[in-house]
Amino acid sequence: MHDLLAKAVAGERLTADEGLTLLKSPHLAALGRAADEVTRRLHPENYRTYNIDRNINYTNICTAVCDFCAFYRTPKSAAGYVLDRDVLLQKIEETVASGGEQILLQGGLHPQFKLEWYETLLEEICQRFPQVNIHGFSPPEIYHFTKMNKLSIREVLQRLQSAGLGSLPGGGAEILVDRVRRKITRGKVLTDDWLEVHRVWHQLGGHSTATMMFGHVETLAERIEHLERLRQLQDETGGFRAFICWTFQPENTEMADVPAATAAEYLRTNAVARLYLDNFANLQSSWVTQGLKIGQLALLYGANDMGSLMLEENVVSEAGTVHQLSLQQIRAAIADLGYQPRQRNVHYQLLEDRADLPLPHSRQNPPLLPIVT
């Protein structure tokens, strides 16, 4: 355990077997300390970051069947919706007024909309809000577009990019192992094609994020396989800007009998991800699923970013998990660890601090976690 942690802290690459050994380790604080040392090596600056954006789910109608999802509705469901265009634009206007410069635009796999519908949507947003980055359309959506329009992944992405798509989210990854994907979902993209969407996007000069939803039917070895597939693609393209992991939220889903993963399991997995993903510059905390305190603690377990203020969130909340933080709470959570809170964009470039948001009190020396072996 000590040798593996020292190896990772020194910047040497862990093997899959070594990653699995760490993921099985009961020494949570030692994992956290090592992950924090790696984070400090990669980010020696005296600040930690956050973002202001809004999750806009333009539709909940979806042809895929995901047992873990409480958000989607079938095409024939009376509870299905498609956001009115004026309502969607109003949501973006509110985001801009709140200091945001990005929206996360995602929806279900709608069975009727052709690619032109999405191109028109992007063009309208860019015309009204040219300063806003559209972080949009997860790989399952992109792959769905290819089937709906009988086009290649490259053609779809090129057209969306020309219409104004700014960056690609990492949604729909769950666990990038086909055994797991086939067990928990039907009618959705499998592992190789999920990765291929990002590969082609990176080849087109685009940047994206990578995610992992864990704590359901996967094994620990399959979590490491997920990280390995991401690390290999990042070696190839360098196009991922960040990694975000979170725990499966079982309430109100078809998998409600699955015990919810603990906060300790979240911190352990986040720390191992930081140690394993040596070619990822940034890891985000998931306070949306973990709450304020564990979300803050993740900044000592490998994360260097507190994630988004998230002015709106619909998917996780449908599963019964509702954590809401104000901008002041996010900034205070960072400052209480001794760091300056700084707003950033999707490329992790710092934005100018807003004058109407006073910097919370900050201690000078961020604490180090004790090593436990």
Residue 320 within any structural domain of the chain: yes
Q: Is 87 exposed, middle or buried (0-12, 13-18, 19+ CB in 10 A)?
A: exposed
Domain that holds residue 118: 2-343
Q: Per the domain annotation, does 362 fall within a domain?
A: no
Alpha helices in 185-258 (DSSP H): 191-203, 220-237
Q: At what angle do helices 115-128 and 139-149 cross, to 10 degrees?
A: 130
Query: What is the length of the chain?
Result: 373
Q: How many domains does one find in the chain?
A: 1
In a domain, 364, yes or no: no
The model's pTM is 0.91
61: pLDDT strictly greater than 50: yes
Rounded mean pLDDT of 250-273?
93
Alpha carbon distances (Å) from 89 to 95, 96, 103: 10, 11, 11
Torsion of CA 326, 330, 335, 340, to 10 degrees: -110
Q: What is the DSSP string of 106-135?
A: E----SS--HHHHHHHHHHHHHH-TT-EEE
- 63-66: which pairs have CB atoms within 8 A and are 24 or more residues apart? 63/108, 63/109, 63/110, 63/111, 63/144, 63/187, 64/108, 64/109, 64/140, 64/185, 64/186, 64/187, 64/188, 65/185, 65/186, 65/187, 66/184, 66/185, 66/188
CATH number, residue 100: 3.20.20.70
Kindly tell me if the per-residue pLDDT of 320 is higher than 60. no
At residue 360, does pLDDT exceed 80? no
Q: How far is Cα 178 from Cα 200, in angstroms, rounded to an integer?
A: 20
User: What is d(CA 287, CA 278) in angstroms, rounded to the nearest whole number?
Assistant: 23
**Assigned domain for 358 exists:** no
Distances (CA, A) of 141 to 118, 173, 194, 369: 11, 12, 10, 41
Examine residue 232 and state whether it is found in any structural domain, yes or no.
yes
**Is 63 part of any domain?**
yes
pLDDT of residue 166: 97
In a domain, 80, yes or no: yes
What is residue 312's predicted lDDT score, i.e. its pLDDT? 61
Alpha-carbon distance of 326 to 185, in angstroms, equals: 34
Per-residue pLDDT tens digits for 90-127? 999 999 988 889 999 999 999 999 999 999 999 999 99
Least confident window among 38-42, 327-331, 341-345, 351-355: 351-355
Residue 34 lies in a domain: yes
